[in-house]
Amino acid sequence: MSIFTGAGVAIVTPMNQDGTVNFEKLGELIEFQITNKTDCIIICGTTGESSTLSHEEHLECIKYAVEKTAGRIPVVAGTGSNCTETAIYLSTEAEKYGVDGLLLVSPYYNKSTQNGLVKHFTAIADSVKVPVILYNVPSRTGCNILPATVMKIHELSKNVIAIKEASGNISQVAELASLSKGEIDIYSGNDDQIVPLLSLGGKGVISVLSNVAPEQTHNIVASYLEGDVKESCRLQLEAIDLIKSLFCEVNPIPVKAALNMMGMEVGSLRAPLTEMEPANKERLKKSLENYGIKVQ
């Protein structure tokens, strides 16, 4: 059974002026997402600046998201690490809070062989009972989870049931879909490839775009799954300019800037991330306006 079908938001972590996590604002963002049809909250992912959260902050954000969401939609916690023991610690703690699933990124910086990936992911998955989504994003990690490796991990740890595919390699996704025969749920990790992955049997998207356009992103998936492929494609293409602007600098720099332009007041970023360059900020503002989103 899938953790969710549709558009899950890779939600930002709002910050106070002193750089601490703004939990009141996080609650407002969660309510905004649920009200506007988001199908799942993904907390403490890349977009949530997980790499610069302390372990205590990381777990506090997960606990808060579960409590605030209160079972209305699923909550998936990003608990991956390039250290297997750290990932096990974060995952087992998140499970105690009642998350509906875990998102485990492939090891970054130290990377891994494919056999190492099998050992890493199965060790984490075997430490919990909740469903696990692998996260393949080679552009950030320098490490690609190959389709055969995904299937080996699933064979050894049956609670590994899905993957967030952000390799950008549609041929690789097609190979995985062919090998898995529906046993592995595939979510697009790229907002500009939602429809292509749905066409290969994907279940939806784990989205940055959903932060600023939750209902529209939900509708891209919902239209496709309801059989209106033409409308889904129209909505996908309509969002391309905004998606490009949301990734014209390193995520989550643009999406936080966009939310602040919308009056959401999510605060700044933690170093080494910096505020947007003026030219890119102007580009983003125009993209938001052209998409029909009011900015301040």
H, E, C per residue of the chain: CCCCCEEEEECCCCECCCCCECHHHHHHHHHHHHHCCCCEEEECCCCCCHHHCCHHHHHHHHHHHHHHHCCCCCEEEECCCCCHHHHHHHHHHHHHHCCCEEEEECCCCCCCCHHHHHHHHHHHHCCCCCCEEEEECHHHHCCCCCHHHHHHHHHHCCCEEEEEECCCCHHHHHHHHHHHCCCCEEEECCHHHHHHHHHCCCCEEEECHHHCCHHHHHHHHHHHHCCCHHHHHHHHHHCHHHHHHHCCCCCCHHHHHHHHHCCCCCCCCCCCCCCCCHHHHHHHHHHHHHCCCCCC
In a domain, 270, yes or no: no
In a domain, 250, yes or no: no
In a domain, 58, yes or no: yes
What pLDDT tens digit does each residue of the chain (296 aa) get?
A: 899 999 999 999 999 999 999 999 999 999 999 999 999 999 999 999 999 999 999 999 999 999 999 999 999 999 999 999 999 999 999 999 999 999 999 999 999 999 999 999 999 999 999 999 999 999 999 999 999 999 999 999 999 999 999 999 999 999 999 999 999 999 999 999 999 999 999 999 999 999 999 999 999 999 999 999 999 999 999 999 999 999 999 999 999 999 999 999 999 999 999 999 999 999 999 999 999 999 98
37 counts as catalytic: no
Q: What's this model's pTM, rounded to 2 decimal places? A: 0.97
- Number of domains present in the structure of the chain: 1
In a domain, 282, yes or no: no
Q: What φ, ψ does residue 14 adopt, rounded to 5°?
A: -70, 150
CA–centroid distance for 167 within its chain: 13
Cis peptide preceding 272, ω within 30 of 0: yes
Q: Is the Cβ–Cβ distance between 37 and 215 less than 8 Å?
A: yes
Q: Which residue has the tokens 């932060």?
A: 211
Structural domain harbouring 13: 6-226
In a domain, 236, yes or no: no
Could you tell me the CATH number of the domain that includes residue 35? Answer: 3.20.20.70
In a domain, 53, yes or no: yes
pLDDT of residue 1: 82
Residue 237 structure tokens: 């293409």
Amino acid at 144: N
In a domain, 259, yes or no: no
pLDDT of residue 269: 97
224 counts as catalytic: no
CB atoms within 10 A of CB 97: 16
- C-alpha dist (Å) from residue 82 to 124, 128, 157, 239: 12, 18, 19, 33
Catalytic residue, chosen from 164, 203, 256, 281, is 164
Radius of gyration of the chain (CA): 18
In a domain, 211, yes or no: yes
Four-residue CA torsion sign, 48, 54, 57, 58: positive
Catalytic residue, chosen from 25, 63, 135, 224, is 135
